[in-house]
């Protein structure tokens, strides 16, 4: 009868390295990697917003897409390995998705000579910019219309979908080399 000898010493070393990776270093490295992806996503959201936005009046929205920024959302759950990013500014979704200029069912409005619905906005013009001022005798008339969204969020998601596989593959290879190489 033939005998097969197997050297198990390399497996023992391999399993020791697996235990070490699972107990501390790997989990911490993975958390750092996820947080880095979140930071990169927020940077891309900011870039996409700035590239698509012609108006410079949304500084608070741009700054809400930073980690620990004003009115932002940043959540990391350890066991579920969840990373949640975003903005809790109410108007962020309107700027991204689009919106109506006003809702005639809830806003005082007038009918123009051509039958269109509109409303008066008190304020005054300063160069190309309208300054809202409820006490002003001047006003502008705002017609009821659709304002197209900038869709910066979707663009950032598509960019991350292109970036993530290569980044994850590179990181996994680094981990394999570090722990098992």
pTM more than 0.85:
no
Kindly state the DSSP code that residue 56 receives in the 8-state scheme: S
* Over residues 52-59, mean pLDDT: 76
- Determine which of 17-31, 70-84, 95-109, 161-175 has the lowest per-residue pLDDT on average: 70-84
Best mean pLDDT range from 15-29, 50-64, 94-108, 120-134 = 120-134
Domain segments of the chain as ranges? 24-89+150-181, 102-144
- In this prediction, residue 6 carries a pLDDT of 64
Phi/psi at 78 (nearest 5 deg)? -70, -55
How many residues are listed for the chain in this entry? 181
Helices and strands, counts by H and E, the chain: 5, 8
């Amino acid at each position: 009868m033939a005998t097969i000898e197997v050297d198990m010493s390399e497996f023992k070393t391999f399993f020791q390295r697996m235990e070490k990776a699972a107990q501390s270093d790997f989990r911490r490295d993975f958390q750092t990697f996820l947080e880095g992806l979140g930071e990169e996503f927020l940077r891309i959201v900011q870039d996409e917003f700035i590239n698509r936005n012609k108006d410079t009046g949304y500084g608070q929205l741009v700054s809400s897409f930073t980690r620990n920024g004003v009115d932002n959302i940043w959540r990391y759950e350890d066991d579920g390995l969840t990373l949640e990013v975003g903005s809790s500014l109410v108007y962020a979704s309107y700027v991204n998705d689009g919106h109506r200029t006003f809702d005639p069912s809830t806003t005082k409005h007038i009918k123009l000579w051509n039958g269109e619905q509109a409303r008066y906005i008190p304020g005054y013009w300063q160069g190309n910019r309208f300054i809202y001022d409820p006490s002003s005798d001047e006003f502008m008339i705002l017609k009821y219309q659709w304002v197209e969204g900038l869709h910066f969020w979707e663009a950032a998601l598509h960019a991350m979908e292109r970036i993530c596989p290569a980044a994850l593959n590179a990181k996994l290879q680094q981990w394999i080399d570090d722990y098992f190489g």
